[in-house]
């Protein structure tokens, strides 16, 4: 039975929450309160519903590294492109990844040049291609946060169980808590509190964020994706700030438990181990990535192949990295809505449907 979400879209309820947010903000003795959302779906929801414009003047909503395609480092994009150029290799990937520009090309351009690059909707689709085409090596480009990592782990385990020798994964998976620690330590960002991701938290729960409150006194609220969800999360955060509390709370109780999803977490732990990982804009963050464990090493594309990866060149003028850190808003990038548009993106923040630049372009006024 479908969940009735009408209450979470109720304009009257939303209006009441906006009034409460105004009262709470007025009670906090700060000139500026900066709240960062770290989920691409939240970025879109905030832009689509005009929530940023509905905030009191002193409350600033900033977008963080919530888009998995956007935070994929340029070198990793170049590596995927290099893998596509190996004879006999079929690249399988989610649609957004094909359009992300690398240093001199993209998977979209490589497909136009004759490389075998196929868009899939699940890593299990890539498994089926490998089973159907045993004469080709099938590589799945694995990007994403904890939401997609268990599915990739399941694909690897299925491949091992079936004895498939022509399936492997180029893994660029990342975990969110590591990035958050980097952000709260960044003096340029100066985040007061965090709107924590809903999708990721359905997997990991709320406990992994506890260090933010305990070690850094930064409050956080896990919330859902409807307008009322987001506004409720903001109100809960402001109440904590007004009361000088720092806790990790769950507003999205219909989807998230404190302990997360034990089955999905066990899948991640079985197939992957944590490692240092490069993030676009944030650099290398210790322990923020996942790599395939030794017992599944045969399914690691970079252990199976040695692609010739070109030297990394960042796109000139693109400030996607600063957008992902919350240092600037998308419309402060000089390329935004001029050289960089959805039909001709310079950086990944304009490529992905969850990218901050794409959301600003679609839902805010610009020249």
Task: Report the CATH number that the domain containing residue 74 is assigned in CATH.
Answer: 3.40.50.11740
Instruction: Examine residue 23 and state whether it is found in any structural domain, yes or no.
Output: no
Instruction: Examine residue 133 and state whether it is found in any structural domain, yes or no.
Output: yes
> Do 134 and 254 fall within a single domain?
yes
345 is written with which tokens? 């993106």
Instruction: Examine residue 54 and state whether it is found in any structural domain, yes or no.
Output: yes
> Do 217 and 337 fall within a single domain?
no
> Do 338 and 316 fall within a single domain?
no
Residues 307-329: pLDDT tens digits?
A: 999 999 988 899 999 999 999 99
> Do 333 and 188 fall within a single domain?
no
> Do 318 and 339 fall within a single domain?
no
Domain extent, residue 67, equals 37-327
Per-residue confidence (pLDDT) for residue 315, from 0 to 100: 87
Element (H, E) at 108: helix 107-112
> Do 151 and 162 fall within a single domain?
yes
Query: In a 10 Å sphere around its CB, with 0-12 CB exposed, 13-18 middle and 19+ buried, how is residue 11 labelled?
Result: exposed
Instruction: Examine residue 341 and state whether it is found in any structural domain, yes or no.
Output: yes
- Choice among 7-11, 112-116, 117-121, 199-203 with the minimum mean pLDDT: 7-11
Residues 109-157: pLDDT tens digits?
A: 999 999 999 999 999 999 999 999 999 999 999 999 999 999 999 999 9
Contact between residue 105 and residue 81 where contact means Cβ atoms under 8 Å apart? yes
Contact between residue 108 and residue 99 where contact means Cβ atoms under 8 Å apart? yes
> Do 342 and 251 fall within a single domain?
no
Confidence of residue 100 (pLDDT cuts 50, 70, 90): very high
> Do 216 and 196 fall within a single domain?
yes
> Do 42 and 165 fall within a single domain?
yes
Distance CA 250, CA 221 (A): 6
The dihedral of CA 262, 267, 273, 277: what is its sign?
Answer: negative
DSSP symbol at 114:
T
To the nearest 5 percent, what fractions of the chain are helix, strand and coil? 45, 20, 35
Per-residue confidence (pLDDT) for residue 200, from 0 to 100: 96
Tell how strand 117-119 and strand 137-144 pair up: unpaired
> Do 189 and 276 fall within a single domain?
yes
Instruction: Examine residue 32 and state whether it is found in any structural domain, yes or no.
Output: no
Contact between residue 107 and residue 97 where contact means Cβ atoms under 8 Å apart? yes
Q: What would the mean pLDDT of 200-206 be, rounded to a whole number?
A: 97
Instruction: Examine residue 163 and state whether it is found in any structural domain, yes or no.
Output: yes
> Do 101 and 181 fall within a single domain?
yes
**CB under 8 Å to 356, separation ≥6 — which residues?**
43, 63, 67, 70, 323, 324, 330, 349
What is the phi/psi pair of residue 309, to 5°?
Answer: -90, 130
Tell how strand 137-144 and strand 89-93 pair up: parallel
Confidence of residue 353 (pLDDT cuts 50, 70, 90): confident
> Do 320 and 332 fall within a single domain?
no
Instruction: Examine residue 71 and state whether it is found in any structural domain, yes or no.
Output: yes
- Burial annotation 315-329 (CB, 10 A radius, 16+ → b, else e): beebbbbbbbbbbbb
What is the phi/psi pair of residue 236, to 5°?
Answer: -65, -40
Instruction: Examine residue 356 and state whether it is found in any structural domain, yes or no.
Output: yes
The count of structural domains within the chain is 2
């Amino acid at each position: 039975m479908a969940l009735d979400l009408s209450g979470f879209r109720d304009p009257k309820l939303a209006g009441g929450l906006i009034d409460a947010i105004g009262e709470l903000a007025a009670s906090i003795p700060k000139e500026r309160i900066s709240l960062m959302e770290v989920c691409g779906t939240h970025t879109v929801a905030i832009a689509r519903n005009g929530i940023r414009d509905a905030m009191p003047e002193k409350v600033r909503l900033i977008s963080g590294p919530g888009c998995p395609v956007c935070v994929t480092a340029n070198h990793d994009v170049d590596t995927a492109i290099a893998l596509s150029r190996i004879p006999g290799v079929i690249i399988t990937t989610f649609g957004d990844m094909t359009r992300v520009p690398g240093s001199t090309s993209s998977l979209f351009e490589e497909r136009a040049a004759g490389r075998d690059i196929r868009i899939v909707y699940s890593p299990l689709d890539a498994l089926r291609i490998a089973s159907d085409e045993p004469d080709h090596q099938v590589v799945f480009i694995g990007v994403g946060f904890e939401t997609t990592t268990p599915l990739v782990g399941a694909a690897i385990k299925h491949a091992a169980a079936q004895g498939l020798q022509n399936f492997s994964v180029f893994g660029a998976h990342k975990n969110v808590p590591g990035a958050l620690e980097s952000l709260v330590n960044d003096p340029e960002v100066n985040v007061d509190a965090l709107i924590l991701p809903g999708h990721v938290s359905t997997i990991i729960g709320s406990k992994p964020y506890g260090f933010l409150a305990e070690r850094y006194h930064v409050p956080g609220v896990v919330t859902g994706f409807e307008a009322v969800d987001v506004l409720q999360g903001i109100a809960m955060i402001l109440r904590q700030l007004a009361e000088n509390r720092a806790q990790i709370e769950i507003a999205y109780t219909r989807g998230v438990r404190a302990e997360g999803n034990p089955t999905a977490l066990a899948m991640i732990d079985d197939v992957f181990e944590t490692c240092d990982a490069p993030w676009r804009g944030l650099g290398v963050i210790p322990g923020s990535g996942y790599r395939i464990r030794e017992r599944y090493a045969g399914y690691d594309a970079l252990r199976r192949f040695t692609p010739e990866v070109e030297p990394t060149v960042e796109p000139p003028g693109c400030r996607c990295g600063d957008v992902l850190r919350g240092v600037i808003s998308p419309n402060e990038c000089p390329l935004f809505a001029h050289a960089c548009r959805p039909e001709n993106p310079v950086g990944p923040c304009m490529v992905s449907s969850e990218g901050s630049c794409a959301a600003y372009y679609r839902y805010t006024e610009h020249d």
